Structure 1
């Protein structure tokens, strides 16, 4: 059976991965503005305080892993009173790899963190935000720590196949973080839908056979629910009505096919469940905001 989670992450395709080592000593504190790209970090030694905008303070210690799907503004400090230094995350990213030292510049650090961020190649990066809460915090996850160390090592080298390896490591990192993220903490979306045994069956069938002319009755039958119960439960857990979710998934697949495989419009239409190129073109234009032919031509130029 198709795994919808793997399919969504497979469509994201990280294309840029930047890693950094961060350390702090003495009285130190930084205030990062909103960044927008997914970022991650694992605490190697020591401890610190992390406060995301609109969230409660979180105390991080050695072995903790943090994933921020959209990296909103946040403050990170040691444990001594200090006015946080403002940092532009875009300027920090442009500075490239290398260690950043906060606070006292000499002597052993009180904190060591390995982290970084990635940028997705696909246009549906919002899919990740729909799967996860604003902050994923996993305590004592050696597999995640090992993955981050592999990312740091690979990013620091210019070995053959570097970009492919980095992309695959990020995909595995995301899958592992999703596995360990409680579905009850996730916003309405695919992760919560898959945690519901009834809805998970319908979701898997939609992802396995996107070209099938699904009806509400058929999908409700897959979930062993009445149509009204299925509709209400799906809408509540996934955050969209079943047929709207199916349309969004078909369009995400269509954009990937047009962008990656250079198929003609009739072939794409058939693969995502449309009986004719004209019907597909109308639906695609309404959903994406431009005809599929123009979308494909623009993708070639990028």
Structure 2
């Protein structure tokens, strides 16, 4: 059986980049500009207030894990905030342990986290299928994975980058599948939390070469066409055929990046009957024909 979540993570191609510790004491407050890259953190001591743009503020305490797949503007503070300090996350990323608030004495809050990149050029499109924020409590395995990432990132041994990439993949999948059902905003994760919509998604992901229509997907979900269309759109955040096209184009881009297939073979693998039909759809969706896209990717190395 196909696993849509694993397929999306695989196409995103996460690569670990940086990890660090953050401590704080006293009254403090910081606000980070939009970063755009996925970030994660595990709270190991104390607590803080986390405010992510577009989400309700939450209290993060020892044992909690937070994942921001796209890291919009966000703020952290002590529960009784101090003066606000603004930080440009894009131009001033910390490379060593960060201390907020009172600089002397033992820390009252400690967390360990970091950020990484998605190697896929169309990552922004795929990230829209994921929640803006995941806040989990009582999942010690995630804290263990964060520490493993930090330990591996600090090493310079053979195979380091491969191990980091695999650890980040595991971290993402563990966090996403541990997210509470119904808590996620519309997207892939919320769709997979609904058994009927999940059935349709798995059918679609498992056979994207099929000429799917809404009634076919509704049948896979065991629902009437109208009820399925309404629920899919509400849960996933896009209409069924729009989602199918988005996924086909993501797979097509990945195939084109590999550079080993003729255009008609790429078209066939993503469900188009001819290279010309595929080229029209690809150009409409991405703004450039597939041949030009492939050449640009190969030129970038």
Distance in 2 of aligned mates of 1:295 and 1:138: 39
Match among 239, 251, 254 for residue 253 of structure 1: 251
Between the aligned partners of 1:82 and 1:240, the Cα distance in structure 2 is 41
Aligned in 2, Cα 1:298/1:202: closer, same or farther, shift over 3 Å?
Answer: same
Report matched runs for 1:142-291 at 5 Å: 142-291=140-289
1:176–1:226 CA distance, 2 compared to 1 (3 A): same
- Structure 1 residues 85 and 189, CA, compared in 2 at 3 Å: closer, same or farther? same
TM-score normalized by the length of structure 2 = 0.94
Deviation per residue, 1:50-91 (Å, 9 max, x gap): 222354432222111111222222221224552121111112
RMSD over aligned CA atoms reads 1.7
Please list, as runs of the form range in 1=range in 2, the aligned pairs for 1:1-302 lying within 5 A after superposition: 1-93=1-93, 95=94, 97-122=95-120, 123-132=122-131, 134-302=132-300
User: What is the CA–CA distance in structure 2 between the aligned matches of 1:12 and 1:188, rounded to whole Å?
Assistant: 19
Runs of at least 4 residues off by over 3 Å: 53-57
Matches of 2:212 and 2:219 in 1, distance apart?
A: 11
Gaps of 5+ in 1: none
**Matched-pair contact (CA < 8 Å) for 1:262–1:296:** no
* CA deviation string 1:165-198 (max 9, x = no partner): 1111111111111111123121222112212212
Q: Which moved more, 1:176-185 or 1:25-34?
A: 25-34
Runs of at least 5 residues in structure 2 that lack an aligned partner in the other structure: none
The answer to whether the 8 Å contact 2:15/2:168 transfers is no
| 1:232-275, Cα deviation, whole Å (9 max, x unpaired) | 22222212221221111111100011013532211101101111
CA distance in 2, matches of 1:120, 1:290: 22
Distance 1:126 1:21 in 2: 30
Native 8 Å contact 2:45 2:61 kept in 1: yes
- Is the contact between residue 130 and residue 187 of structure 1 (CA under 8 Å) also seen in structure 2? no
